[in-house]
Amino acid sequence: MNDAQAPIVPAVEVLAFDIFGTVVDWHGSIVRELGRRYPQVDGDAFALAWRAGYKPAMVRVMSGELGWTLIDDLHRMILDAILPQFGLERLGEEERRELNRVWHRLDPWPDAVAGLQRLKRKYLLCTLSNGNLGLLTRMAKRAGLPWDCVLSAEVFRAYKPDPATYLGVARVFDVPPDRVMLVAAHHDDLAAARACGLRTAYVVRPLEFGPAHPKDVAPQAGNDLHSRDLLHLADLLDC
């Protein structure tokens, strides 16, 4: 997969972006915030433990064990559960609430804003994240992320990889699924989108889980594009 593949996606109108890990650096942002607030805590371990609770919490919602629950609330449940592991069980309600809001303050990857600005010249840009609307909107405001539209699992009341999320983007913009391209740094997300008829672009984020935990970012068959970052994706899409 390389630059020569760009002509295969001429009909795409909408680029829908996964957010956590793809557009913003959740791990590095949490580590930096922990370093400022609680320097005695291992920020790397804390960030990984918090993120590790993410999928199990969503499974509880998807299975019906929990009713529909916003990611902000799931993050808070996970936070409350892990605080004792890191000697922070004495944090009061206001401190817990403010720490939980770190997910609203995640920093973009260095290429993200400039890459999105270039892509926006040619495509409609929207989020497609399990993050809730308030979280995504505050994040965009702070980081200068130039979305045309903020879409969330909250809109569809379903978490990715439920087909309702991917097909929901096509429905919102009144286009066939193959005119939407999901942009993500996670192959499972892209595979689920592809099963719904969307186009897919992989973004390499080898340090998503921090420099001590590099991940495999090798190309996988099926994706239309494989990009080094969002600036490279803009190159591939002639923006």
Average pLDDT estimate for 106-124: 98
Mean pLDDT across 14-29: 98
**What's the pLDDT tens digit per position in 191-233?**
999 999 999 999 999 999 999 999 999 999 899 999 999 999 9
Q: Provide the pLDDT confidence category of residue 17 given band limits of 50, 70 and 90.
A: very high
* In the chain, ranges of CATH 1.10.150.240 domains: 27-104
Confidence of residue 2 (pLDDT cuts 50, 70, 90): very low
Per-residue pLDDT, averaged over 75-103, amounts to: 98
* The pLDDT of residue 4 is above 60: no
pLDDT > 90 fraction of the chain, expressed in percent and rounded: 92
Cβ count within 10 A of residue 150: 21
CATH: 1.10.150.240, 3.30.70.890, 1.10.1740.10, 1.10.490.10. Which one for 27-104? 1.10.150.240
Residues 6+ apart with CB under 8 A from 147: 116, 125, 126, 127, 140
Chain segment 55-82, per-residue pLDDT in tens: 899 899 989 999 999 999 999 999 999 9
| CA quadruple 87, 93, 95, 96: dihedral sign | positive
CATH entry 2.40.50.100 includes domain 3-25+108-236 = no
pLDDT at 10 over 90: no
Is the Cβ–Cβ distance between 136 and 129 less than 8 Å? yes
What is the pLDDT averaged over residues 114-134?
98
Q: Kindly indicate the confidence band of residue 8, based on its pLDDT and cuts at 50, 70 and 90.
A: low
Q: What confidence category does residue 22 fall into, taking pLDDT thresholds of 50, 70 and 90? A: very high
The pTM of the full predicted model, rounded to 2 decimals, is 0.94
pLDDT tens across 150-191, in order?
999 999 999 999 999 999 999 999 999 999 999 999 999 999
| The pair of three-digit structure tokens given for residue 55, joined into one six-digit string | 């999928």
Q: Where in the chain is the domain with CATH 3.40.50.1000?
A: 3-25+108-236
